[in-house]
Each structure stands twice: as C-alpha cells, then as structure tokens.
Structure 1
Amino acid sequence: MLGDAWLWVAVEWSPPAYAEFYAPGGGLDTPTTVALLVAALVKAALLWLILRAPAPGPLDRRAKALRRLLYLAVAYALVLWYPIALLPDAVDAAFQLALWTAIDVLYLLVIRWRSRMLRAAAGAMFAVELAGMANELLDELDLPELASGGIVELGLILGGVAATIITVVGQRRDGRWSRGTQVAGWLSVGVYALVIPLNVLFVGRISSGNLATPVMMDAVGLVGTVWIAATARELPAEGRPADLPPALRRVIRVAVAAVAVVPIIALIHPEQTPRLTYTGWSMDCYDRPGFGDLKPAERDAAFLCRARSIEGGVPPMFPDSLSDQEILAYGRALCRTKDRDEQEAILTRAGSARPAWGADPWDLVHVCPEIVGATHPELLRSTAETKAANAAYIAEQNAKCRDPWPRTKGAVQATAKYFLFVDGDPGYLVHDPRDEGAEAEQAMDKVYDDSARIGVAGGAVLIGHVEDVVDLCLTVKAFRTSPPQRTAGWDQVNEVSIVSRSGRLTVPEMGEGGEVGAGAPMPNLAIAGKGRYRLRVYVRVDDAGEEQHLVVVFPGASRKRLKLKP
C-alpha cells in the first residue's frame, strides 16, 4: 500500500523494499504501524538533539579534525549508510575501519584523560574495537581472519562496548562535556545491553515477518548517534552548557535504569511459554552430521533442529508455540504411524503448517532409531560408513560392466557404470571440460530432435539412452586412427564430429558425494591434442534390459554425420 510505503520511508529513512524483505506480502500489520508511529516521535526528538548547532569557541587543529570526523560518523548513521550499502560490503567495512581508526586516535590525543593508566586502558579498548572491525573486513575480503569462534566474536563486541564506556569516563574527567552528553553516552551503552539480547531473542521472529521489534530497536539505536553528535558539538573548552536541573537529572536516571532493566525483563518468559533449545535460525543447526556421527545425547537436539528448520524458505514441521518436549513426543508418535494419513493427522493436531508433507525417515531416525533402522538401516550409518558403502556399491556396479571390445585396445580406454539422474536424464556428455561456451546446453537441446538421440554442438556431444534406465555400462576408447566399424551385435552405430579447443575430451565423472557421472576415472580422449575428432557411438540393449554404450574417438577432419547402423 502507498500509505504504508510513505510511513516506512518517513520513519525508517530507508526504501520500502526493506520492509518488503522482512514482511513480504500485504503491507504493514497493526503492531508494526503502531511501532512506526511511536518511533517517529522518538526519532524526531533525537534528531532535534543531533542537529543542534555546534557550540562556539576556538578549536585546535586536532579538535577540528575530530569534530569533522564525528560529524561524518553522524552523517553515515543518518544518510550515508544507504549509498554505501549499494557498494560491495568490503567497501563499507573498510570505510568504517578507516573512520573509527582516525576517531579513536584523535580521542586519545584530544580528550584530557588526566591519567596515563586511563589513557593506556582507552588505547587498549580502542585497539580491541578496531580489531573487531578489521576482522569483519577480512571476512568480507575472504581473507584469513584475526580470530574466529563465538567466544572471540563476543569478546570483540564487548570490546566495542568497553571503548564507549571508557570514552564517557574520559569525557567526565576532561570536564568539557555536559552531563547531558555523558548521559547520552551511558544510554548508548544501555542500548547495547538492550539490542544485543533482543537481537538474539527475536532473530527468528524478525525474519518471519514481525517488524515491530526491529523498528523500535532502530529508534533507540539513534541514541548512540546523539552522543556522537553531542561529543562533536561540545568540543570547545569554553561555553560549556549549564548542568541539567535536578528534576531532569532524576528523569534521566530513571531512563538509564529502565534501559538497563528492560533487557532482563524481556528475557524472562511466562511459565507457560515453551522452552526452545533450537530454532530454525540456531547456528548449531546448520551442521547436519549423519546419525552415526552423533552421540546418543545429541540425537534429540538434531531432531529439534530438523523439526524447526525453515531452510529453503519452507515452513517448519512444528510451530514455535510447541516446547522441545512436545515436539519430541510428537516425533516419537510419528514413528509409530503406519502411513502418511496417520502422520498428517498427528501433524495437524500439533498445528503444523505443512501436515500433508508428513515426516521423512531421515528426520525421524533421530528420535526412534530402532524403528526407522529396521526398514532403513542405511540411515544409521556414520558419514565414514556411508562413504564406504557408496564406494563399495559403485565398485560393485562397475564390476558388472565388461569391455565389449576386449581384443581391440585403445591408446587410452576405460569401462565403468554411468549413473544418470533417477528423475530423468537425457544422457551423458563427451565434451571439452575447459570450454566454457554454451555448447553443452545446445547439445542437450538437439538431442531431443535427433532420432538417434545424439546432440552435437561443436565441442560437446550429448549421447542419450534409448531405454528408460537410471544407469548404463559405458566403455570409452581413443585410437590414433579409425578402427574397424564392427557393427555386428549392436542396435545403433552413429558417427559424428567433435572438436577439442583445449586438447581435452572426456566424460563427466561422479564426484565425491555426487549422484551422476561415471563411476570410475575417465581418460582424456583427445590423444592428438587440440583439433577435430570423429566420435563413434555404439548402443545396444541386452536381454536383461541393461543398456551398453561404446564410445570410440579418433582424429578426423570430416564434419559429416554417419549412420552406420540404424
């Protein structure tokens, strides 16, 4: 709605697309609208404090530089963040690191700390703050970070808070800054204490469409900008504003106390509120090891991660209104169901947003391995066991394939099972893997138009299968000259042209963890280097319905397409 868009822009000073990102669909809900109206009043008052004229008085060169940099930081917080956000994230991180490095150095030089120990402590805290910014820049540049881990990251965040605290202490000892400015500094510390836990507490809800909380967090976050602006405004030694009256001081003390207490109150839930150990946004849920890699005590947590997962934008299996124990109980009930209808009934009773989907055995195995393992023993394996089982299966399938020309040896050759997509795969490629053109896609388009199901496009040939199979036996051979045709015993024999621009021609292999490709290493068939080759394809289906392919490659300049056996 147009009215919602104007309200969002007027209060949040950001494009309406930001609101659409967090709450797609149909405009702002009532709590968000109320939050925006309240935030408008709060931000208007804070903006008036920010835009007050600088105090008159002489400034030395360092103080002038500090004032300009502080006002640049204010401009960034109010306006410049948006155009800079359009640039790569590394630019933003580098800008902030450079800006606050200069500000912190000038803080050490301009503020009259009146204590070497306090100045040294301030320098240490500023260094920790800048280390956090440098760490973020290294992360954006994909370079090795200074440190990693949750504890280190928390330490860097707290270092930034400590830098603010020690700066306010320095302002108090300096004597130039009014009580109001110092209170704004302490309030900005209180905002840290408010925003950090709320950000952790509401991260899942914010991302699921609740905008009221981030709107209010954004409004109170402007207090830090008020403090920066007041610090710049009151830099002159003369003309310090008069102290606030006692009544106003009491109001400010109450406000500071409220900011300190509200986060604690927000973290205390009613007794009936469900306890959520893991949500769809928990960092511990991103790593999903195999069942066999988990300790028994970790299996319930793994199921909770999956039950509340919203990965891929899909709704979770269970709503957040259910506690951990309720979800585990529903999970064990799902294990005892006989069909999807019973699962749907249980999920409907639990309030699931997707009851018709049921529950998958690879999720339920974590709460009832004895039941799921009886019908799906492969789900009980560890990652190493799964890898070994897959390797053994591929080796077994490769052993079933035989060289159809055992007496005719190529310069290079290989025989393996080629695995196709179960849900439908047009075939396999013989191509130049270093050619980054769109020829593979062109060959795929052409394979459907060819009766022999061979699509040719320069350096890529897509060879289709004639039967509805999920794998086939493939032998590839490369010769230096054209071998005998030998069409007897084959259903189809066709010969086409292919070019190698890099000196390589090969068939895709099944990579680690892959499902499609050759089950064994495939050689480079372009044995004469760059140039044009002839590619002959032999296809047959035996009495058991197994499809066999023989691909023969040899140098040849002809571009003709030959059908040697229809």
Structure 2
Amino acid sequence: MALLVAALVKAALLWLILRTPAPGPLDRRAKALRRLLYLAVAYTLVLWYPIALLPDAVDAASQLALWTAIDVLYLLVIRWRSRMLRAAAGAMFAVELVGMADELLDELDFPELGSGDIVELGLMLGGVAATIITVVGQRRDGRWSRGTQAAGWLWVGVYALVIPLNVLLGRIFSGNLAMLVALDAVGLVGIVWIAATARELPAEGGPADLPPERRRVIRVAVAAVAVLPIIALIHPERTPHLTYTGWSMDCYDRPSFGDLKPAERDAAFLCRARSTDGGVSPMFPDNLSDQEILAYGRALCRTKDRDEQEAILTRAGSARPAWGADQWDLVYVCPEIVGATHPELLRSTAEAEAANAAYFAEENAKCRDPWPRTKGVVQATAKYFLFADGDPGYLVHDPEDEAAAEQAMDKVYDDSTLIGVAGGAVLIGHVEDIADLCLTVKAFRTPPPQRTAGWDQVNEVSIVSRGGQLTVPEMGEGGDVGAGAPMPNLAIAGKGRYRLRVYVRVDDAGEEQHLVVVFPGASRKRLKLKP
C-alpha cells in the first residue's frame, strides 16, 4: 500500500517538475541561473547514479561548485528590493556553502571546519535559513507564483521534520520500508520548488506561448529522458532484497513461534539465518536475498539428515555448512513439518510456561519425603534436574559467596564421597549416571538422629554462612538445571557455622534420592557415618 501511494505522489510531483519553461526573454544571468537550476534537478533525478560510481569527494566537490554558482546568481537575479535582505541572503548562502565545504573536507580526509553536534546542527539550520530567505526574496520579486512559493515553504516544513528526527533519534527509520518509501517521495518536494523557480524566471510580458502540440512533444521527450534511466535502474528480483540483517535491533528478540502472526514468521527465520550472535558466522552469506534464504530454509526442512543439510548450505555459500540447521529455527518457515515431530516448538510463551509448570509439578510429585514424621523448621522436597553426563551435582551454598562455589566444584572429585567443601558452599555429587534426582532438604535447630538405616551413604561436613543464607539453586527462567520447586533458606540461625548431613541412596528402580539435613554446629570435622 505504501508503494502504491508513493507511486501516485511521485507521478504527480514528476508532472510538476517536467512542465515546460515559461516563455519570455531572459538576460544572460537569468539564462545561466535557469540552466544551473535544471542541472540541479537533473542531478537529483538522474545524474546522481553515474556520479555515485566516482569517489565521494567528486560528488561533494560538484555539489559545492553547482550551488556556489546558483547562490551567486540568486543574489544577482532575484529582485530583493532591500539591501538588508540581500545582505542577509548572502550571509545565509555563505553558511550553506560552508556546510558543503565542510563535507568536502571530510571526504578528502582533511581537518574539518568544525566538529561536534552543535556545529553540525548550526550548518544544517543555515541551509534551512537559506531556503527561507530565498522564498522571501521570490515573494518580494513578484515573478514567482504562489504555487512555487508554497512549494518552497513546504520544503522548509520537510526540513523542520527531518532535522530534529535525524539529530535526536538517529537511524529511527532504518529497516522500515514504508517510512523509507514515504521519505523518498517527500524528497521530491524540494526538486519541485527548484524546477518551478527555473520555469518562472522570465519577466512579465514575454512573447506568446509555444503551440500545444510542440509543448506536448517537448514534455514527452523530457519525461523520457528523466524517467527511462530511472526505470533502467530497477533491479530484477534476483538481486538481493535485504529486509532483515543480523544487526537489526528486532533480531535480538527471539519470540516463540506461537507468539508470532503468520506474516511475521519469515522475518523471524531471516533474523536467525543472518544472526551473528556470539561472534559466529551467519548461516547464510550476506549476498543472498530474503527470497533465496527462505527458499533454502524450506529445502532444509525437507532433508532427512545432517549430510543433506550440509550439501544445501554448501550450495548456498554458507560459512558453516557442517553445523546444519536446528529445528527451533526451521519451525518458522515450515511449521507443518517441524511441528509433526516437535509439537512443543509450536507453542506460544504462555503455552510453554504452562507446559513447563505442569511438567515440573508432575516430576516433583514423584518425589517423597524420606523422613515424613520428622519435621524440620523449614523443609522442601522436589526433583532436582541436572545435565546428563554434564553436571557433577548440586550446590548447598551461601549465594553471596560465589568464590566458595567455584572452589567446591574443584574439590568434588577429591574424595570418594563426591562431596566438595569450601567455606560457604558444598557441592554434592550424584552416584548414578542420571539427569535428575529426588532431593529433600530440612533445617533443624538441634542435631537430629542419624538414622542411617536404608541409606547407601551418609556423610556430614561443615559449612559457613557469612550472609545469613544457605540454599539450593532453583530452576531459573528458561534454564535446564536446578530444583523444580522453591527451596527454603536453611540457615535458620542466621550468620554462622552449620553442620550439613547428606543421605544418598538408589532404590530398586534406579531412582537416586538425596536428603540434606542442616543444623547449627561449630565442629569442622568431616564425618563418614555410612558406609
């Protein structure tokens, strides 16, 4: 819709730009001004493309030379009817040209005339002031119509909107196609004003207008010269169309499939396909268009193994074809295929949270308190989830003592009991090769009975709480490790030293159960109560 509206607006503005010049005699200066103004129009519409192939300094120098000549002729041709107004116009034109000269120095890597946002803003406002005073001069002159003056004031209004947005919000329009198209159309307003200024230069009372047939032929010829090069610049569909890149701000979010509308899912896949998170190479190279990446993504969905994925990514020019593509990325382009084997990937955030909560509740319900009749001051029973073959065990620690946790991790394999002790942290290992275990924690004010019967291992160590807390890590948001239910603070007596007793057993079904008992105690001995 934005493209259609912009096309209509551009067509209307181009019609205004391509109107034939008004007839009438012109002196030498006015003729030169008209030609230079039409050159500025042609530069903006067509000539910018071949000049863009040259070094940027050439573009900046040509712009400076063109507008220096135009501004000088403005001072000589416009009937200002006031020396003060002409002097003010000269000052504003000078500021405008200083801004162009500053840009040229920057392109040539020479020291600039000024630096900092204040100087840049001042030069930009000088350019706006030059436009304003030119429109005022046109009004006092009397040769230019109200439509031409209105175009000039409208161009000033465009400046008034663009400058604060550019200074305060920077690249706010980056990646917004509709906004970029709208700004491109609005940019033609200034060209309409320049073309109208050139067209209405002759003095009043000139000779009769050209015949309608001749004017029509001239207008068609000018339109062809101006429009055909633009049409030639339209690239075919195979040219990369890059809507999203790995640096787009929207790509930092990773919304769930179920949270996205159908029209948003392709964009989510493009974000992942071009992502450079962690400094890794993107899945696809930057020279592929959105359409090509989406086609390759759907082809990856239909592969049967990693070898087929590697072949497709190699053909696409990927820098990491051996990595393949993950199902949680491909779900955005082929939910019907991925969802058949991984229905959990189709969930929304709310559905995923509800499913996780139900799963944790079910797993926690499988664990039973091994001392149901011995109530602690605080206690809890839950499933503790571990990485299979990856986690040595779980911590009972003072969260404020991070260094102790790392030391305990290093000491867990120093003893056959698989209990690492370091100040305010105790790391308790698991005896079976499992991914989770049932854990019960209890805190008492006095030492409870040992009750070692029915347990495979019972050990007692010392732990200190410097911050008044001792607890077991819980499952974090989006995490895979931790207790499946809230764990209490076991340091019921506040800061100080405690004794920590660990009971471990594996039942006939192969389920591992742990009981952790904590109570105040000054002893620093390590006791092996069983076996």
Q: Residue 411 of structure 1: CA displacement?
A: 1.0
Q: CA deviation at 1:360?
A: 1.0
Note the 1:91-106 alignment, pairs <5 A.
none
Gaps of 5+ in 2: none
Greater displacement, 114-123 / 348-357: 114-123
- Determine the C-alpha separation between the residues in 1 that align with 2:500 and 2:57: 49
How far does residue 539 in structure 1 lie from its aligned partner after superposition? 0.6
Contact 1:197 1:263 in 2 (8 A): no
Q: Is the 8 A contact 2:389 2:433 kept in 1?
A: no
Change in Cα spacing, 1:175 to 1:294, as seen in structure 2 (3 Å) is same
Q: Conserved in 2, the CA contact under 8 Å of 1:290 and 1:381?
A: yes
* CA positional deviation for 1:348: 1.5
Deviation at 1:66? 35
Deviation, 1:374, is 0.6
Following the alignment from structure 1 to structure 2, what is the Cα–Cα distance between the partners of residues 177 and 551? 92
Shift in Å at residue 555 of structure 1?
1.0
Q: Secondary structure at the match of 1:525?
A: coil
Find 1:470's aligned residue among 429, 435, 438: 435
Write the deviation string for residues 110-137 of structure 1: whole angstroms up to 9, x where unpaired: 9999999999999999999999999999
Measured at CA, do residues 291 and 35 of structure 1 come closer, stay the same or move farther in structure 2, by a change above 3 Å?
closer
Deviation at 1:424, TM superposition (A): 0.5
Aligned to 2:241, the other structure's residue is in SS state: coil
Within a 5 Å distance, the mapping from 1:302-313 to structure 2 comes to: 302-313=268-279
Is the alpha carbon distance of 1:391 and 1:114 closer, same or farther for their aligned partners in structure 2, counting shifts above 3 Å? farther
**Does the alignment pair 1:225 with 2:191?**
yes
Q: Deviations over 1:70-101 (max 9, x none)?
A: 99999999999999999999999999999999
- TM normalised by structure 1 equals 0.56
Point out the more displaced range, 73-82 or 304-313: 73-82
Per-residue deviation, 1:389: 0.6
Q: Residue 473 of structure 1: SS of its match in structure 2?
A: strand
Q: Counterparts in 2 of 1:42-61, with a 5 A limit?
A: none
Kept in 1, the 8 Å contact 2:504–2:513? The answer is yes
TM-score normalised by length of structure 2: 0.60
The 1:324–1:542 alpha-carbon spacing in structure 2 relative to 1, beyond 3 Å, is same
Deviation at residue 340 of structure 1 after TM alignment: 1.1
Deviates more, 1:484-493 or 1:136-145: 136-145
Relative to structure 1, the CA distance from residue 57 to residue 459 in structure 2 (aligned partners, 3 Å threshold; closer, same or farther) is farther
Task: Quote the Cα distance in structure 2 between the aligned partners of 1:320 and 1:212.
Answer: 23
Question: What per-residue deviation string (whole Å, max 9, x for no partner) do you get for residues 125-182 of structure 1?
Answer: 9999999999999999999999999999999999999999999999999999999999
Paired position in structure 2 for 1:492: 457
Q: Over residues 500-523 of structure 1, what are the superposed CA-to-partner deviations in whole Å (9 max), with x where a residue is unaligned?
A: 122211111112222211111111
Residues 11-410 of structure 1 aligned to structure 2 (within 5 Å): 272-410=238-376
Per-residue CA deviations over 1:211-249 (Å, capped at 9, x if unaligned) read 999999999999999999999999999999999999999
Cα gap change, 1:56/1:246 in structure 2, threshold over 3 Å: closer, same or farther?
closer
Deviations 1:285-330 (A, max 9, x none): 2222111111111112211221222222222222222222222222
Q: After superposing the two structures, state which structure 1 stretch, 262-271 or 374-383, moved more.
A: 262-271
Inter-CA distance 292–249: structure 2 relative to 1 (3 Å threshold) = same
Residues 399 and 470, structure 2, Cα contact 8 Å, conserved in 1: yes
Distance 1:258 1:193 in 2: 33
Partner in structure 1 of residue 469 of structure 2: 504
* Deviation for aligned residue 1:269: 5.3
Corresponding residue number in structure 2 for 1:451: 416
User: CA 1:78/1:324 → structure 2, altered by over 3 Å: closer, same or farther?
Assistant: closer
* 44-53 or 381-390, which deviates more: 44-53
Check the 8 A contact 1:55/1:233 in 2, yes or no: yes
- What is the deviation of 1:434? 2.8
Name the CA shift for 1:378/1:143 in 2 (closer, same or farther; >3 Å): farther
| Percent of aligned positions that are identical | 91
Deviation at 1:69, TM superposition (A): 36
Name which of structure 1's ranges 72-81 and 363-372 shifts more when overlaid on structure 2. Answer: 72-81
Change in CA separation of 1:258 and 1:86 when aligned onto 2, cut-off 3 Å: closer
For residue 205 of structure 1, give the secondary structure of its aligned residue in structure 2: coil
Cα separation, 1, equivalents of 2:151 and 2:408: 67
Say if 1:260 and 1:62 are closer, same or farther in 2 by CA, change over 3 A: closer
Structure 1 residues 539 and 83: alpha-carbon distance in aligned structure 2, compared to 1, 3 A threshold: farther
| Equivalent pair of 2:456/2:505 in contact (CA under 8 Å) | yes
Stretch of structure 1 that moved more, 282-291 or 139-148: 139-148
Evaluate the alpha carbon distance shift between residue 238 and residue 302 of structure 1 in structure 2; reply closer, same or farther with a 3 A threshold. Answer: same
Can you give the 5+ residue segments of structure 1 that lack an aligned partner in the other structure? Answer: 1-33
> Alpha carbons of 1:510 and 1:370: their partners in 2 closer, same or farther (altered >3 Å)?
same
Q: CA deviation at 1:412?
A: 0.9
Which deviates further from its counterpart, 246-255 or 499-508? 246-255
Partner of 1:207: helix, strand, or coil?
A: coil
Instruction: Determine if contact 1:191/1:259 at 8 Å carries over to the other structure.
Output: no
Structure 1 residue matching 2:519: 3-state secondary structure: strand
Q: CA deviation at 1:431?
A: 1.0
Provide the rounded CA distance (Å) in 2 between the counterparts of 1:90 and 1:420: 62
SS of the equivalent of 2:270 reads: helix
Conserved 8 A contact 1:234-1:240: no
Q: Is the 8 A contact 1:504 1:526 kept in 2?
A: yes
Q: Per-residue CA shift, 1:26-59, capped at 9, x if unaligned? A: xxxxxxxx99999999999999999999999999
User: Is this contact kept in 2: 1:178–1:240, CA < 8 A?
Assistant: no
The answer to whether the 8 Å contact 2:57/2:108 transfers is: yes
Contact 2:10 2:185 (C-alpha < 8 Å) held by counterparts: yes
Cα distance in 2 between the residues matched to 1:88 and 1:562:
80
1:460 aligns with 2:445: no
Contact 1:334-1:346 at 8 Å conserved across structures: yes
SS in 2 for 1:418: strand
Q: 1:37 to 1:336 in 2, by over 3 A?
A: closer
Q: Deviations over 1:389-427 (max 9, x none)?
A: 111111111001000111111111100011113451121
1:358 Cα deviation after fit: 1.2
Tell me the C-alpha RMSD between the 2 structures: 14.5
Is 1:560 the counterpart of 2:525 in the alignment? Answer: yes
Distance 1:206 1:422 in 2: 46
Give the CA deviation at 1:484.
Answer: 0.7
Does the CA-based 8 Å contact 1:190-1:260 persist in structure 2?
Answer: no
Maintained 8 Å contact 2:148/2:196: yes
Q: How many residues align?
A: 531
Measured against aligned partners, the alpha-carbon deviations of 1:251-282 in whole angstroms (never above 9, x if no partner) come to: 99999999999999999757652212212122
Q: 1:496 to 1:180 in 2, by over 3 A?
A: farther
- Whether the aligned pair in 2 keeps the contact of 1:183 and 1:252 (CA below 8 Å) is no
- Following superposition, which runs of at least 4 residues in structure 1 exceed 6 angstroms of deviation? 34-201, 203-268
Shift of 1:462: 0.9
Higher mean C-alpha displacement, 293-302 vs 254-263? 254-263
Residues 23 and 207, structure 2, Cα contact 8 Å, conserved in 1: no
Say if 1:513 and 1:118 are closer, same or farther in 2 by CA, change over 3 A.
farther
Say whether the 8 Å CA contact 2:20–2:219 is kept in structure 1.
Answer: no
Whole-Å separation in 2 of the counterparts to 1:38 and 1:86: 30
CA contact (8 A) 1:179 1:243 kept: no
Which digits, 9 at most, give the CA deviation of each residue in 1:2-22, with x for residues without a partner? xxxxxxxxxxxxxxxxxxxxx
Between 539-548 and 98-107, the greater mean CA deviation after superposition: 98-107
Classify 1:121/1:530 alpha carbon distance in 2 versus 1 (closer, same or farther; 3 Å). farther
SS of structure 2 residue aligned to 1:268: coil
CA-to-aligned-CA distance 1:355-403 (integer Å, 9 cap, x gap): 1111111111111111111100000101110111111111111001000
Identify which range, 161-170 or 147-156, moves more after superposition: 147-156
Question: Are the equivalent residues in 2 in contact too, given 1:502–1:530 (CA < 8 A)?
Answer: yes
Q: 1:218 to 1:494 in 2, by over 3 A?
A: farther
